Amino acid sequence: MFNNSKHRFAWQITSIIFLCLMSSSALTITITLIMVRMGFEVHPYTFRTYVIIAFLASSFLGTVIAAFATRKLSEEYATFKDTINQVANGNFDVAFPEDNGMIDQIGSDLNMMVKELKGVQILRQEFVANFSHELKTPMISINGFSELLLADEISDEERKEYAKIIYDESSRLLTLAQNTLLLSKLEGQALVTERTSFYIDELIDNSLLLMAKQIEGKNLTVNSEIAKINYYWDSNLLSQVFINLINNAIKYSNEGGEITLKLYSTEEHVVFVISDNGVGMNEQTIERIFDRYYQADSSHKTEGNGLGLAIVEKIIKLAGGKITVKSKIGEGSTFTVYLPELSN
């Protein structure tokens, strides 16, 4: 198909060039006839000579120019074909030539496509690597402690301890599966159809109640300035935003630290701010904090699967809002959510 397209295009170019030259010959003959009608003396032999010369010149020049154009196009298409074959075989480090005259824009567009494909390939590789890690760790724990449970010589206390570990790790797997499915659903979703009227402050209060055990476990102080704001959207999705942001603040807070929550409205946005005085993040971490499976704690000492903030960003974008983050190492982090003003 590619070769046929190449030859068809070359033949079209050849035809256009030939027609242009034939048109110039016809113009020469027409001008000669007009000169005869106006009284200029043109001998019949001379006129026939003009016609023959014009035709031969058109044929010769058309053939030469067409041959040159066809050869040049063939070389350009050969280069493009080779590059396309390499891209089709998964090599995204190649580049299409962008200085080929009439098809330079095609080369530029194709290079942009290859760049995007390479980015997708990198994301896919990172996804597989991170997902494999998150899946492997709890599976090893479950398998190992299940084997220990089968031993006859363990005490009841050890049995309960091993069962608790298996329960926690299986819960972690369940959360991983649920978050992965939710993120996949959000990435394929463009509109929200399940809209109801609700109060955002109540969602935040419910999220704090769900996190009460974790808050007490780290002896954290929660300060809140929450305004009562009615909203008309998907309450279940928005609830995921608050749960994940609060959970993230708890996770990276120091023992006995503070978390501050604010909710207020402006003329254009509903604004939610959550701050902690925990470990904080460097610039490199901030740039990737919303990437799926990325965790600021590379040692994986803190619980989580690196999907929470990715889910948060997807939901906020789906709502037509945005999220920003400011952070410093040792001083904590502040996440600010801007949602468009929506009321029933």
Residue 103 lies in a domain: no
Quote the tokens at residue 151. Answer: 């031993």
- Domain identity same for 237 and 274: yes
**Residue 121 is assigned to a structural domain of this protein:** no
**Per residue in 162-186, pLDDT tens?**
888 888 888 878 877 777 777 777 7
User: Which is higher by pLDDT, 148 or 131?
Assistant: 148
Task: Evaluate whether residue 111 is within a structural domain.
Answer: no
Regarding whether 138 and 217 lie in a shared domain, the answer is no
Q: Is 233 left (phi over 0), alpha (psi -120 to 50) or beta?
A: beta
- Are residues 169 and 133 part of one domain? yes
What pLDDT does residue 75 have?
66
Say how many domains are in the chain. 3
Tokens of 88: 């089709």
Instruction: Tell me: do 136 and 37 sit in the same domain.
Output: no
Residue 104 lies in a domain: no
Is residue 124 scored above 70 in pLDDT?
no
**Interatomic CA distance for residues 316 and 181, integer angstroms:** 17
Q: What is the pLDDT of residues 139-152, one digit of tens each?
A: 888 888 888 888 88
- Both 225 and 142 in one domain: the answer is no
Residue 334 binned pLDDT confidence (cut-offs 50, 70, 90): very high
Residue 41, pLDDT score: 57
Shared-domain flag, residues 39 and 11: yes
Is residue 281 assigned to a domain? yes
Report yes or no on 200 lying in a domain. yes
Residue 118 is assigned to a structural domain of this protein: no
Which single residue is written with the structure tokens 């939901």?
Answer: 315
Share of the chain above pLDDT 70, in %: 62
- pLDDT at res. 68: 66
* Final residue belonging to a domain, choices 163, 187, 211: 187
Q: In which band, very low, low, confident or very high, does the pLDDT at 325 lie, cut at 50, 70 and 90?
A: very high
269 and 239 in contact (C-beta within 8 Å)? no
Instruction: Compute CA distances 220 → 21, 308, 326, whole Å.
Output: 86, 21, 21
Give the three-class secondary structure for 32: helix
Residues 200 and 296 in one domain: yes
**Cβ(277)–Cβ(337) below 8 Å:** no
**Domain that includes residue 235, residue range:** 196-340
pLDDT at 21: 59
Phi-psi category of 338—alpha, beta or left, where left has phi over 0 and alpha has psi -120 to 50?
beta
> Which H or E run contains 146?
helix 104-149
pTM: 0.58
Q: Are residues 175 and 309 in the same domain?
A: no
Q: Look at residue 291 and tell me whether its pLDDT is greater than 60.
A: yes
Same domain, 214 and 335: yes
Pair 135, 267 in one domain: no
Same domain, 201 and 322: yes
pLDDT band at 267 (very low <50, low <70, confident <90, very high): confident
Apex CA 275: angle with CA 271 and CA 276, to 5°? Answer: 165
pLDDT of residue 271: 96
Answer whether residue 48 is part of any domain: yes
For 56-199, strand residue ranges (E) read 196-199
Residues 240, 311 within the same domain: yes
How high is the pLDDT of residue 1? 41
**The tokens of 172 are what?**
């972690």
- Return the percent helix, strand and coil in the chain, to nearest 5: 60, 15, 25
What is the CATH classification number for the domain harbouring 298? 3.30.565.10
Q: What is the CATH number of the domain that holds 159?
A: 1.10.287.130
Last residue of a domain, one of 139, 157, 187: 187
